[in-house]
């Protein structure tokens, strides 16, 4: 655990303690279980966003991808045309395909990540609304899928399966990012793409893979969220979820300039965000201020990252 992660952990403990003192309901089993469920749901796609940010890019279409893939999954399962297991695989593959297209547009066509993913944000939202004729997609009254519901939305001794899935994916992504050749290449590309290319790294492959990982994890999150909400309004479902993902990654130490970040940091950033959201709800703060809180969190994170970078540069200059 580095200094940033330790500081974030201390902040989570301090904020949690303060909230618990102000409102003891924070520590109630029901509230803790609900918070854990939300940490799992949002943490899965925040992990994917971190990979893209570390590569030096950004993924702005997360919320729209969740809406589109969510309605497709519900349509497959509710319509009975595709078995739930096959629907899961198809939706995840569709997510990976979206990431592949984004990566190729960035590396082969030379478009900016901001432009590609902003267009994706609009396109996927529009397709989701067209797919459902702008109607809410959901499961028919009385429809039951006990195995699927238990696997995706159930609990194991009170622990939400979404959190368990998040923990498993966290371990896998930590190995990929911190214990593999690909992870080292990803950090190198994020630090200096040109230098990485001259050193023999296939930078295009690294960047494309980062977007495939991001959208693949987003597809997994879309399925969990669809089963959690059980109904999807394509015009609003997943709106601004990309902000949650970016905020969690930035809070966790991922630099928007690329080349910095850790999986543990993203986990802690996700936990802190959900604790702050819980604070807003328990203290009776108007929910309309949620986005103000999110924007402030991102701003503070970027300022802190800039200050850390400036101090590091000064130390390196003094050492030389």
pLDDT at 319: 65
pLDDT at 20: 87
pLDDT at 153: 84
Which residues, other chains included, contact 290 with Cβ-Cβ below 8 Å and sequence gap of 6+?
A: 277, 280
Query: Per-residue confidence at 320, pLDDT binned at 50, 70, 90?
Result: low
Summarize the confidence of residues 279-287 as an average pLDDT: 76
Query: Per-residue confidence at 114, pLDDT binned at 50, 70, 90?
Result: very high
Query: Per-residue confidence at 199, pLDDT binned at 50, 70, 90?
Result: very high
Q: How many CA atoms lie within 13 A of 278 on its CB side?
A: 30
Residue 309 pLDDT exceeds 80? no
CATH number assigned to the domain comprising residue 187: 1.10.3470
CB burial of 266-301 (b: ≥16 within 10 Å; e: otherwise) equals: bbbbbbbbbbbbbbebbeeeeeeebeebbeebbeeb
Q: How many helices (H) and strands (E) does the chain have?
A: 13, 4
Q: What is the DSSP letter of 154?
A: -
Percent of the chain with pLDDT over 90: 56
pTM: 0.90
Query: Residues 10-31: pLDDT tens digits?
Result: 888 888 888 888 888 888 888 8
Tell me the pairing of strands 137-138 and 231-232. Answer: antiparallel
What is the number of structural domains in the chain?
1
Burial class of 191 by CB neighbour count within 10 A (0 to 12, 13 to 18, 19+): middle
For 58, the domain range is 3-319
Query: Per-residue confidence at 290, pLDDT binned at 50, 70, 90?
Result: confident
Percent of the chain with pLDDT over 70: 94
């Amino acid at each position: 655990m580095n200094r940033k992660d330790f500081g974030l952990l201390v902040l989570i403990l301090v904020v949690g303690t303060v909230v618990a003192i102000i409102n003891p309901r924070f520590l109630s089993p029901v509230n803790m279980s609900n918070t854990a469920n939300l940490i799992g749901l949002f943490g899965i796609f925040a992990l994917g966003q971190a990979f893209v940010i570390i590569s030096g890019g950004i993924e702005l279409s997360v919320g729209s991808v969740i809406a589109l893939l969510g309605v497709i999954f519900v349509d497959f399962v509710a319509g009975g045309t595709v078995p739930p297991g096959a629907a899961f695989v198809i939706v995840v593959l569709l997510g990976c395909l979206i990431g592949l297209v984004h990566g190729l547009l960035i590396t082969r066509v030379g478009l900016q990540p901001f432009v590609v993913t902003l267009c994706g944000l609009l396109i996927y939202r529009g397709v989701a609304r067209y797919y459902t004729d702008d109607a809410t997609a959901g499961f028919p009254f009385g429809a039951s899928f006990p195995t699927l519901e238990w696997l995706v939305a159930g609990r194991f001794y009170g622990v939400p399966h979404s959190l368990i899935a998040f923990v498993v994916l966290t371990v896998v992504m930590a190995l990929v990012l911190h214990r593999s050749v690909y992870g080292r290449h990803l950090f190198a590309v994020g630090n200096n793409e040109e230098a990485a290319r001259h050193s023999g790294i296939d930078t295009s492959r690294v960047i494309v893979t980062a977007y495939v990982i991001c959208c693949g994890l987003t597809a997994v999150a879309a399925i969990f969220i669809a089963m959690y909400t059980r109904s999807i309004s394509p015009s609003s479902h997943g709106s601004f979820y990309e902000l949650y993902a970016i905020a969690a990654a930035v809070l966790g130490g991922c630099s928007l300039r690329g080349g910095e970040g850790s999986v543990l940091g993203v986990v802690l950033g996700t936990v802190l965000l959900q604790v702050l959201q819980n604070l807003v709800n328990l203290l009776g703060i108007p929910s309309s201020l949620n986005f103000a809180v999110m924007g402030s969190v991102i701003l503070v994170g970027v300022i802190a990252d800039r200050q850390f970078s400036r101090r590091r540069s000064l130390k390196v200059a003094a050492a030389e």
